[in-house]
Amino acid sequence: MRIATLTSGGDCPGLNAVIRAIVRTSSSEFGSNVVGFEDGWIGLMEDRRVQLYDDERIDRVLRLGGTMLGTGRVHPDILMSSLDRIKENLDDAGIDALIPIGGEGTLKAGKWLADNGVPVVGVPKTIDNDVNATDYTFGFDTAVAVATDAVDRLHTTAESHQRVMIVEVMGRHVGWIALHSGMAGGAHHIVIPEVPFDIEEICKQMERRFQMGEKYGIIVVAEGATPKEGTMTYDEGGVDQFGHQTFTGIGQVIGDEIKRRIGRDVRTTVLGHIQRGGTPTAYDRVLATRYGVQAARAAHRGEFGKIVALKGENIELVDIDDAVSVLKTVPIERYRTAQALFG
């Protein structure tokens, strides 16, 4: 049997661990070869493939961030217009199964290919942790660890200068990173897309801290956060060439409003792609490895149209439909747990 894999969408800590596990499992358990398509779907469309060997190089990528295959994005319309070419490239390479590794967009593309007769087993990845049907995606733990470390460091400088510090983290549509890093880092307020914020409430909360003798405040904000309707206006950004919403810096907007309303010194730190880079945590390496092993086994068993998913302590197979039907958002009760610690 010959397996192909690719990584698509944003890079993510743990991608190399998945690739390594697919290659080593296919080789050791089934004697199968694995090829990788470079730069995501583009490489599949252009037939840019490389042979992946079970050797020292594949063994050493476990601890590395990014992806050894490269990644990229392609507009869904372009991908769908390339179906015949994709099938031809897979046939020419003698591919029996394709394992795409990616987030919601990649898995939607995988579902479309599966619906059109391509044997697909998907592996969910995203630092945002927003893929449905799995408890956690690899990359999330690393992103939270990076963001938490930043919050920890900002406590001391904020207190020294008696400032309010805004920390903007990734999260277009969901606030998992903001929620977990804010709770772990002891933030005094957390703003997530699932719960529109009231700027007046945030300002009162920060002012109350100073009135009670506290010297500073830390607020963690997800990049996709929005204000309650009618409370304030801001530039909502637009949409990029791939259909993804672009943002104009809600952390800075909140910081400017706090400074204007309560007259305190406010600084904003945007973590951006720092959250996606660097060495994956041990948890993400293990989860990514388990995903890769089970994806390779599922492909050899012919269990297509599925993704691997974490359910409790087990890795299970679920329908791709379940993974792409809705985004996994932060439950309101989880946010209310954090709210108990605000102020």
3-state secondary structure of 67: coil
Burial of 178 (0-12, 13-18, 19+ CB in 10 A): buried
For residue 23, the one-letter residue type is V
**Residues with Cβ < 8 Å from 263, sequence gap 6 or more?**
none
Q: How far apart are CA 227 and CA 224, in angstroms?
A: 10
For residue 218, the one-letter residue type is I
| Torsion 70-72-77-78 (CA) sign | negative
Contact indicator for 3, 33 with CB cutoff of 8 Å: yes
Contact indicator for 308, 124 with CB cutoff of 8 Å: yes
135 annotated active-site = no
CA atoms within 13 A on the CB side of 341: 16
Q: Which of 54, 55, 115, 128 is catalytic?
A: 128
Q: How far apart are CA 128 and CA 141, in angstroms?
A: 10
Q: Phi then psi for 97, rounded to 5 degrees?
A: -160, 145
Q: Which residues are registered as beta bridge partners of 102?
A: 124
Q: Which residues are registered as beta bridge partners of 314?
A: 311
Contact indicator for 269, 167 with CB cutoff of 8 Å: yes
**Residues with Cβ < 8 Å from 183, sequence gap 6 or more?**
190, 337, 338, 341
Contact indicator for 258, 89 with CB cutoff of 8 Å: no
Residues marked active site are found at 128
